[in-house]
């Protein structure tokens, strides 16, 4: 396996670019870009470890390129090599964890040492990320195996003893089922978010009836809804509504939204429905509850951020995962809510899935 590190030189001046390329080509895989957009194009097609970046270039400013790089992969190390800098660019560099600044004309031994140390830090970050991923995968396996057994045996016992259970016993079995499912859902949510953050999540396409998927997920929440005295209903349209997408990931989105509805609806109902959009390009799935609702100022934080509102209970992981998975499937998540008037989530996903870069996967 080739363990050579990769270096991207971003500079519109040919002299410094060629000088750096000649210095590093024997030790690293070297790529060059005369501007910001060309650099981002390379970044999306090649694995890059370290970037040397000029700040003053035509077109996209260097500080903007820096921010794009860090959004793409926060562990890529950036060394600013420039004859132009200011307090503002220095502050923005610090915010984006720039490895170091080098002024032109640069000293070859100095920049060689900086690139070498930047590669080492990049490798350490990757090792730490792999260790975390391995830990989460092992932890998930160790927790999911007994939880799956608990859920399975509890379902069997509930079904076989259904006619012999009194009300208190039935409530106890429902509670075991609901809380076991909740814990399993939390474990899988953490793993999904970790895979999304690492850019390792793959899309698996199949054609399926989204209404049957919705009914199946609803059945899995029946015990939790009964336990809270809620009415959980699914629209009665028996006509198949076919979708080509990743069914498992869509189920995970629905799990998060229905779990949120059950958690924050102290009484009343939860209604699930699905339909084609007016232009027939999207399938729209609705999860509507009569719960406590969300203030407008809190909606963006609940959907986009890992830190929940102080007024909300729980970790806020589910809604964040639902939002990011919807984006991953090429869709969008809409929220309408008001305190005391319930919440209405709408998941709109393309009838034919798209990959995270937006190109069609199936037609």
Per residue in 125-182, pLDDT (tens digit) is 888 878 877 787 777 778 878 888 888 888 888 888 888 889 898 889 888 888 887 7
Write the CATH number of the domain with boundaries 204-363.
Answer: 3.30.565.10
Domain with CATH 3.30.565.10 in the chain: 204-363
The angle subtended at Cα 274 by Cα 271 and Cα 277, nearest 5°, is 135
Its pTM stands at 0.58
Candidates 17, 30, 12, 20; CA nearest to 107 is 20
pLDDT tens by residue, the chain, 363 residues: 457 899 999 998 888 899 899 999 999 999 999 988 999 999 888 899 999 988 878 888 888 888 888 888 888 999 888 766 554 555 555 666 787 878 778 888 888 999 999 999 999 988 887 887 778 777 777 887 888 888 888 888 888 888 888 989 888 988 888 888 778 877 877 777 777 776 678 888 999 999 999 999 999 898 889 889 999 999 988 899 999 999 999 999 998 899 889 989 999 999 999 999 999 999 999 999 999 988 776 676 665 544 444 444 444 678 888 888 898 898 999 999 888 889 999 999 999 865 544 444 433
Candidates 58, 106, 59; CA nearest to 80 is 106
Task: HSE, CB side, 13 Å, CA atoms: give it for residue 274.
Answer: 26
Fold category of 126-201 in CATH: Helix Hairpins (1.10.287)
Per residue in 114-130, pLDDT (tens digit) is 999 999 999 998 888 78
Q: Largest alpha-carbon pair distance within the chain?
A: 85
Domain with CATH 1.10.287 in the chain: 126-201
Domain covering 6-106: architecture: 3-Layer(aba) Sandwich (3.40)
Strands 282-289 and 343-350: antiparallel
Domain with CATH 3.40.50.2300 in the chain: 6-106
């Amino acid at each position: 396996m080739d363990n050579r590190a990769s270096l991207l030189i971003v500079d519109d001046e040919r002299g410094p670019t060629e000088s750096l390329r000649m210095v590093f080509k024997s030790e690293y895989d070297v790529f060059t870009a005369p501007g910001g957009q060309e650099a981002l194009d390379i970044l999306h097609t090649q694995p890059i470890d370290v970037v040397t970046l000029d700040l003053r270039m035509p077109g996209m400013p260097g500080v903007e390129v820096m921010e794009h790089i860090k959004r793409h992969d926060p562990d890529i190390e950036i060394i600013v090599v420039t004859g132009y800098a200011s307090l503002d660019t220095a502050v923005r560099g610090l915010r984006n964890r720039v490895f170091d600044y080098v002024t032109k004309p640069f000293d070859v031994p100095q920049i060689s040492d900086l690139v070498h140390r930047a590669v080492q830090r990049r490798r350490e970050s990757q090792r730490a990320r792999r260790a975390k991923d391995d830990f989460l995968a092992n932890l998930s396996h160790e927790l999911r195996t007994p939880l799956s057994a608990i859920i399975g045996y509890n379902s069997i016992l509930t079904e076989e003893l259904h006619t012999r259970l009194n009300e208190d016993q039935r409530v106890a079995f429902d509670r075991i089922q609901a809380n076991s499912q909740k814990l399993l859902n939390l474990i899988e949510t953490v793993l999904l978010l970790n895979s999304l953050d690492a850019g390792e999540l793959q899309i698996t396409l199949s054609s399926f009836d989204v209404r049957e998927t919705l009914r199946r997920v609803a059945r899995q929440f029946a015990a939790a809804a009964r336990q809270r005295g809620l009415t959980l209903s699914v629209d009665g349209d028996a006509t198949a509504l076919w979708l080509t997408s990743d069914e498992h990931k869509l189920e995970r989105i629905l799990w998060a939204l229905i779990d949120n509805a059950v958690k924050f609806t102290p009484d009343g109902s939860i209604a699930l429905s699905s339909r084609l959009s007016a232009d027939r390009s999207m399938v729209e799935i609705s999860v509507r509850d009569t719960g406590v609702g969300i203030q407008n100022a809190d909606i963006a934080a609940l959907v986009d951020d890992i830190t929940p509102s102080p007024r909300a209970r729980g970790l806020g992981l589910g809604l964040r995962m639902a939002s990011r998975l919807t984006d991953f499937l090429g869709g969008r998540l809409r929220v309408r809510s008001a305190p005391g008037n319930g919440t209405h989530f709408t998941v709109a996903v393309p009838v034919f899935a798209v990959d995270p870069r937006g190109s069609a996967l199936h037609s």
